[in-house]
Structure 1
Amino acid sequence: MKYVTMSCALSAIVAAFLLSVRGLHATDAPEVEADTDQADKLAKQLANPISSLISVPFQANEDFGYGPSHNGYKFTLNIQPVIPISISKDWNLILRTIFPIVSQHDLFYVENLPENSPLQPQNRSQDGLSDTTQSFFFSPKKPGPFGLIWGIGPALLYPTGTHPFLGTGTFSIGPTVVVLKQMGGLTAGALMNQLWSVAIEEHRSSFSQMFLQPFVAYTIKTHTTFTLSTESTANWNNTPGDAKWTVPLIFQISQILKIGKQPISLQVGGKYYADSPRDSLTRAH
């Protein structure tokens, strides 16, 4: 079964946040310049996961056809603040956090279950907070050889899930790295992390998962950006015989706009699951 997703994202860049970049000494805030030049710069910064721009994206995703019954539905609102901090003359520390708020139905339920199964009709829906992922990227302020922009550091998964079906029940940690190159309106790169559980709640299983996100984005003169990516996960703890990989192919279009003096980026897109386990997985990225 190939799952289909419709997603809509709103990336809000609040004017006060843009000004506070100078206060954090991440890099100098953009000088007062023409709206076109500012929009060009913002579009390029938004295409870079570790740019020195404070932003607070809100990303809403709707997934259909999940779970063993292929009738599952999942709505996820990701709140994803990005905060750059200057730690020296040559280095930034970029904090990327993802707070997922989830509402899901029939992701685990199948018909004709035994009476003692926990997956009865009254338990078919779950709503609440999923696990929180936080990444710390140490990144040079200037591009390296061949114009490469990169960052590396630790990633943490906090067990903030408010229901057993919304989280892993583990505190996990591992490395994360991002590498990209920007050439004119083109941005290409990849972000990955690998998480292993180091503390496990009672009656929960160990956790080992890799996240891989290659991406290509192109921005045209109207400050419209077209992005093709995948947010693939490999769950190394899946049961034997079950697929380990979840591979969604994602296409998104975003546009830089202004509401008064406040610049925002509006984004819409779609997602198609080229490969996935039989059952829905909890994913961290």
Structure 2
Amino acid sequence: MNQIFSTKFLVCILFFSIVSLHAQDDAAELAKKLANPIASLISVPFQNNSDYGIGDLKGSRNTLNFQPVIPISINENLNMIARVVLPIVTQNNITGIAEKQSGLSDAVVSAFFSPKNTKNGFTWGVGPAFLIPTGTDDFLTSKKFGIGPTAVALKQSNGWTIGALVNQLWSVAGSDERPDVSQMFVQPFITHNWKSGAGIGLVGEWTQNWEARTTSVWLIPNVSGVTSIGKQKISLAIGPRVHLIAPESMRADWGWRAMVIFLFPK
């Protein structure tokens, strides 16, 4: 997807909808569920990340993550929350001067098994995560299949949500010409939502590549809100991306994130 079009599209939707934002009876409940990655809520997020001034060539990268979340009832006590993260990437001046790559990157598919009932606002989920080599360009894929564990735990109380998500992936098959994958991802998060559905949050993203011995840490504050376009309920969020830790060849000077999430409450 063209970087300029995708970023302008998301920004236009965001600000148009914020202008028309109005309180809804169920906005607070939807915002509470959205703050919980394993809530029983069907959602289709489009998360756009734009980063600039990357590495020695001062390149740019736009990553639009398509992230559908589908809860499946296993029995009266247990849900399985299926989650897909499929990145659509456009990057310039990353691999060389005036070089550009555009296409799909590798997908991560997770399945969290989680109790339906929370206790004192605390809930958790565990399950497998899979790395699927869906990348359409040699620079955007590991060409490896991977598997590993994933887990999430959080507590919700008085409008606050505090928790963390983690996964670890190891390659088990794929191209012998590519290096093995051993990568950990940790995502702590804290959010406060008001009864209107508006909220503020802070997300950390730590990626540890054990094979390459590289560390990347992002800090992403955001503001969010729940509204409707016609009968379609949506959530909107926007905020800066701050690259705290990275090798010099991978560090970005600055970036931003915008999200549009289509909600399908029961």
Bin the TM-score by the shorter chain.
Answer: 0.7 to 0.9
User: 1:91 aligns to what?
Assistant: 78
Please point out which of 178, 199, 224 is paired with 1:225: 199
Q: Quick one: distance in 2 between partners of 1:68 and 1:180?
A: 39
CA distance in structure 2 between the partners assigned to 1:191 and 1:276 by the alignment: 21
- TM-score, normalised on structure 2? 0.83
1:259 matched to 2:246? The reply is no
Instruction: Please tell me the root mean square deviation across aligned C-alpha atoms, in Å.
Output: 2.0
How far does residue 202 in structure 1 lie from its aligned partner after superposition? 3.5
Aligned mates of 1:207, 1:279 — CA distance in 2: 20
Shift of 1:147: 3.2
The 5 A counterparts of 1:184-195 are 184-195=158-169
Is the Cα contact below 8 Å between 1:68 and 1:109 reproduced in 2? no
Work out the CA distance in 1 between the residues paired with 2:47 and 2:178: 29
Greater shift, 164-173 or 126-135, is seen at 164-173
Distance 2:113 2:56 in 1: 41
| 1:106 is the counterpart of 2:81 | no
Change (3 A) 1:165 1:280: farther
Residue 145 (structure 2) pairs with residue 171 (structure 1): yes
Name which one, 1 or 2, has greater alpha-carbon Rg: 1
Alignment match of 1:67 (pick from 28, 31, 55): 55
Q: How does 1:63-212 map to 2 (within 5 A)?
A: 63-69=51-57, 71-109=58-96, 121=98, 124-144=99-119, 146-212=120-186
- For each residue in 1:42-64, what CA deviation from the matched residue of structure 2 results, as whole angstroms up to 9, or x when unmatched? 01001100000000001111111
Q: Deviations over 1:230-249 (max 9, x none)?
A: 1110011116xxxx210000
Equivalent AA in structure 2 for residue 258 of structure 1? S
Name 1:19's counterpart in structure 2: none
- Residue 36 of structure 1 and its aligned partner are, at CA, apart by 3.1
- 8 Å CA contact 1:108, 1:279 repeated in 2: no
Q: Which has the higher strand share?
A: 2
Q: Which has the higher contact order (CA 8 A, sep 6+)?
A: 2
> Which string of whole-angstrom CA distances, capped at 9 and with x for unpartnered residues, describes residues 162-195 of structure 1?
1111011111110000000000210000000000
- Determine if contact 2:68/2:84 at 8 Å carries over to the other structure: yes
Structure 1 counterpart of 2:220, which letter?
Answer: I
> For residue 19 of structure 2, what is the aligned residue in structure 1?
none
> Residue 3 of structure 2 corresponds to which residue in structure 1?
none
**Identical pairs, percent:** 48
Match of residue 41 from structure 2 = 53
**TM-score by structure 1 length?**
0.78
Aligned length: 235
> Unaligned stretches of 5+ in structure 1?
1-5, 12-34, 111-120
Q: Out of 179, 188, 212, which is 1:238 matched to?
A: 212
Distance in 2 between residues matched to 1:260 and 1:128, nearest whole Å: 32
Deviations 1:216-272 (A, max 9, x none): 000123321111011110011116xxxx21000001111111122221111111100
| Matching residue of 1:17 | none
CA shift, 1:91, in A, is 0.1
Unaligned runs of 5+ in 2: 1-6, 15-22, 252-266
